[in-house]
């Protein structure tokens, strides 16, 4: 038992360190807006079904999954559950007739759950990415009433992470509720530059860094409608509160000479330097609604609808000019025969889904939309009397943005790999 605990703690420290130190895990010009690209609180097994989760309780009655999107589901945890994973993104950016490719990979999540009272009360905690910021672009034009060419430079890196702890409780036979307490933290660094093309010209660069750390809350509820002994409909709701969290803001403006090599030279002066100025980041209210129908240990289909009040997002009292967002997902899972002995592939979970979102971004009067087809497998790894494990592999084929009005279109393939372990810990055995 102690070896398992030490192993889990070591992995959590490793993942925490990697998450904090890794700065650029995204290459997306649209991460320039708001807080960057927002990641859902979803493990690979749910992403494979298009992201449906709000109305999903237990796709398999024999196996526990951690569904932090709706903390009410923690009440169904019946054994100690550990989930760890990584993610990779292969992306192509297109604009007019030009294109550019990139690949990023990172450790993604670690989550644990335990039953307090098996099948009635459960506890979960873990660490996941919340937003990703990573972009670098430029454009060249003319200054007003001037013949000199000027290049405007934009770059950013960083992101926010969520560490959460939650509890779920079932009341009666069909109703359950839950809540997560979340610590949101991380750094967002953005740079803006203005460079004249002539050698020896004085150029300007400004850098803004927000170091964020604060508490937020999310919550959820589910109601179950039995159709028979082995089939049921589950209706769910989850949301996150419009929290106000702390930010330390550093703002720096420097002037420098452009070298003959074209590189940025040493700063010649710093006209503005504001360090660790206090600010508040106000997060929006978010709603998720979901429904699923399933035959236990056989199949599940469901749908989610989500909406976010991102037009209310503000940093240091300044509205970021974002729009409210909405999105929908449909998906499902099929397990041909979970008890099959003669065929391994009959015990595999086959998952498929589709997701569509109108994001909070509007550029040049164009709403930036995102859509993805998702699919994946849940591969059983082993089974003993007290432990069972599964490898979850998911692929997302998606597109964000448009080529209209000279905008950028992102085509991406996301790969998610996670391992889930169910084990019986802290249990006493009696011997005659």
Predicted local confidence at residue 140, as pLDDT? 77
Q: Is the pLDDT of residue 8 over 80?
A: no
Q: Tell me the pLDDT tens digit for each residue of 89-109.
A: 999 999 888 888 888 888 889
13: helix, coil or strand?
helix
Predicted local confidence at residue 25, as pLDDT? 54
Predicted local confidence at residue 20, as pLDDT? 40
The answer to whether the CB of 85 falls within 8 A of the CB of 420 is no
Q: Is the pLDDT of residue 257 over 80?
A: no
Domain annotation for the chain: domains and CATH numbers: 26-423 (2.40.160.60)
What mean pLDDT is predicted for residues 253-282?
75
Proportion of the chain above pLDDT 90, given as a percent: 57
Q: Whole-prediction pTM value?
A: 0.87
Is residue 145 very low, low, confident or very high in pLDDT (cuts 50, 70, 90)?
Answer: low
Is residue 240 very low, low, confident or very high in pLDDT (cuts 50, 70, 90)?
Answer: very high
> Quick one: 426 exposed, middle or buried, by C-beta within 10 A (0-12, 13-18, 19+)?
exposed
Contact partners, residue 211, CB within 8 Å, separation at least 6: 186, 187, 247, 248, 249, 250
User: What is the β-pairing status of strands 202-226 and 349-363?
Assistant: unpaired
Task: Please state, in angstroms and rounded to a whole number, the distance separating the CA atoms of residues 9 and 84.
Answer: 12
Read off the tokens for 17: 């360190």
Task: Please state, in angstroms and rounded to a whole number, the distance separating the CA atoms of residues 42 and 351.
Answer: 15
What mean pLDDT is predicted for residues 373-399?
89
Is residue 200 very low, low, confident or very high in pLDDT (cuts 50, 70, 90)?
Answer: low
> Which element (helix H / strand E) includes 8?
helix 2-21
Contact partners, residue 143, CB within 8 Å, separation at least 6: 150
Predicted local confidence at residue 17, as pLDDT? 45
Predicted local confidence at residue 175, as pLDDT? 97
Task: Please state, in angstroms and rounded to a whole number, the distance separating the CA atoms of residues 270 and 204.
Answer: 10
Read off the tokens for 225: 């409608």
Measuring CA to CA, which residue among 112, 122, 114, 108 is closest to residue 47? 108
Q: Which residue has the tokens 């927000």?
A: 210
Q: Is the pLDDT of residue 316 over 60?
A: yes
Read off the tokens for 373: 């087809």
Q: Which residue has the higher pLDDT, 24 or 78?
A: 78
Q: Is the pLDDT of residue 3 over 80?
A: no
What does pLDDT average to over the chain? 86
CA 105 centroid distance within chain? 14
Predicted local confidence at residue 259, as pLDDT? 63
Q: Where do the DSSP E strands lie in 197-285? A: 202-226, 231-240, 244-258, 264-282
Is residue 225 very low, low, confident or very high in pLDDT (cuts 50, 70, 90)?
Answer: very high
Task: Please state, in angstroms and rounded to a whole number, the distance separating the CA atoms of residues 175 and 72.
Answer: 9
């Amino acid at each position: 038992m102690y070896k398992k605990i030490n192993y889990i703690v070591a992995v959590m420290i490793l993942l925490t360190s990697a998450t904090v130190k890794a700065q650029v895990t995204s290459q997306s010009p649209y991460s320039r807006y708001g807080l960057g690209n927002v990641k859902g609180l979803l493990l690979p097994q749910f992403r494979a079904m298009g992201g449906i989760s709000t109305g999903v309780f237990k796709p398999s009655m024999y196996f526990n999954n951690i569904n932090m999107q709706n903390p009410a589901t923690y009440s169904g945890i019946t054994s100690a559950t550990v989930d760890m994973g990584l993610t990779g993104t292969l992306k192509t950016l297109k604009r007019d007739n030009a294109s550019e490719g990139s690949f990023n990979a990172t450790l993604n999540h670690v989550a644990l759950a335990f039953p307090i009272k098996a099948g009635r009360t459960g506890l979960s905690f873990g660490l996941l990415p919340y937003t990703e910021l990573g972009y670098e672009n430029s454009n060249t034009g003319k200054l007003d009433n001037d013949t000199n060419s000027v290049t405007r430079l934009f770059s950013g890196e960083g992101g926010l992470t969520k560490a959460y702890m939650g509890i779920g409780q079932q009341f009666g036979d069909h109703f359950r509720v839950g809540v997560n307490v979340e610590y949101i933290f991380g750094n967002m660094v953005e740079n803006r530059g203005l460079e004249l093309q002539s050698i020896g010209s004085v150029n300007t660069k400004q850098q803004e860094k927000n170091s964020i750390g604060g508490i937020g809350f999310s919550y959820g509820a589910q109601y179950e409608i039995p159709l028979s002994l082995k089939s049921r409909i589950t209706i769910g709701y989850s949301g996150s509160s419009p929290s106000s969290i702390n930010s330390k803001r550093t703002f720096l403006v420097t002037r420098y000479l452009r070298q003959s090599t074209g590189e940025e030279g040493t700063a010649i002066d710093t006209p503005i330097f504001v360090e660790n100025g206090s600010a508040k980041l106000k997060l929006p209210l978010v709603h998720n609604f979901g429904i699923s129908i399933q035959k236990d240990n056989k199949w599940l289909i469901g749908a989610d609808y989500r909406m976010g009040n991102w037009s209310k997002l503000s940093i240091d009292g300044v509205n970021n000019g974002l729009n409210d967002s909405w999105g929908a997902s449909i998906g499902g899972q099929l397990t041909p025969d979970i008890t099959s002995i003669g065929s391994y592939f009959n015990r595999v979970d086959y998952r498929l889904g589709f997701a569509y979102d109108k994001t909070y971004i509007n550029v040049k009067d164009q709403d930036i939309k995102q859509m993805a087809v998702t699919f994946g497998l849940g591969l059983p790894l082993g089974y003993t009397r007290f432990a069972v494990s599964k490898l979850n592999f998911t692929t997302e084929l998606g597109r964000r943005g448009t080529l209209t009005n000279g905008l950028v279109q992102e085509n991406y393939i996301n790969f998610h790999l996670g391992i889930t372990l169910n084990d019986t810990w802290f249990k006493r055995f009696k011997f005659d």
